Amino acid sequence: MIVPPVVQEISKGKFICCKPLINLQGYILGNPVTDTKLEHNYLIPFAYGMALISDELYESMKRICKGSYGNVDSLNTECLKLTEIYQNCTDRLNKYHILLPDCEKTSPDCLLYKYFLLEKWANNERVRKSLHVKKGSIREWRQCNYDGISYNYDIQSTVPYHKNNSINGFRSLIFSGDHDMTVPFIATQAWIRSLNYSIIDDWRPWMINDQIAGYTRTCANKMTFATVKGGGHTADYKPDETFIMFKRWISGQPL
């Protein structure tokens, strides 16, 4: 949510931090939260496409919930019942990568364990002193701490920012790990489609060593979308493939 507005502000010259000035060329985002309402509504089609829910449940939810699965009307009791069935089918999944075991980040065997260590590191007094953190300003640092922080959600969707940035000539690479259920790739495809940009390079596989690493499409205004096959919510689920993708895009090569 943060990157597209920041890119827009930098492009307007609204920064005083840097000399020489920032030579902004474009930006890269992976599995980006863009429009939470839209993304939530694509969870059910994603679950169906990944064989996590039955045909019957999917068709019933489409018909009764009418494509709105987030804030269900309390009077629509049928939709609420179907939503509960959906949650029973999916609540034990690892939402960051549905093929991996659901795990506690405090376990060394869990891929999220590094984030647990990061919290320990960031709360170490010696580390805080080295980083010149003002004593008492932060009681406990937590990753993704959305609770208890006083700020306004004044941007509900960053799609207009993506549009402004791309129309103003900034390149963008938007990529999705195709097994992420936090921000499903079909939701990202949906908001990119909503821009109504013409297709410059249509849907095709991108390759590493003659093997399919994902799929990609490039639209007008220098916007490229790519999937990472077998990827999850962040780049570290497929670091080698993602790094190669970055290098190709940054150097101007086709993926």
pLDDT tens, N- to C-terminus, the chain (255 residues):
999 999 998 888 755 666 677 788 999 999 999 998 899 999 999 999 999 999 999 999 999 998 888 888 888 899 999 999 999 999 999 999 999 999 988 999 988 898 889 989 999 999 999 999 888 887 888 776 655 566 677 889 999 999 999 999 999 999 999 999 999 999 999 999 999 999 999 999 999 999 999 999 999 999 999 999 999 999 999 999 999 999 999 999 999
Question: For 2-34+157-251, CATH number?
Answer: 3.40.50.11320
Please state the domain extents for the chain: 2-34+157-251, 36-89, 103-154
In this structure, the number of other CB atoms found within 10 A of the CB of residue 92 comes to 8
Residue 63: strand, helix, or coil: helix
Alpha-carbon gap, residue 150 to 57, rounded angstroms: 39
Half-sphere exposure of 96 (CA within 13 A, CB side): 15
Which residue pairs, CB below 8 angstroms and at least 24 apart, start in 216-219? 216/255, 219/192, 219/195
Strand 171-177 to 223-228 pairing: parallel
Cβ atoms of 24 and 10 closer than 8 Å: yes
Q: Look-up: residue for tokens 């791309």?
A: 166
Which stretch of DSSP H or E encloses residue 199? strand 199-208
> Quick check: bond before 20 cis, omega within 30?
yes
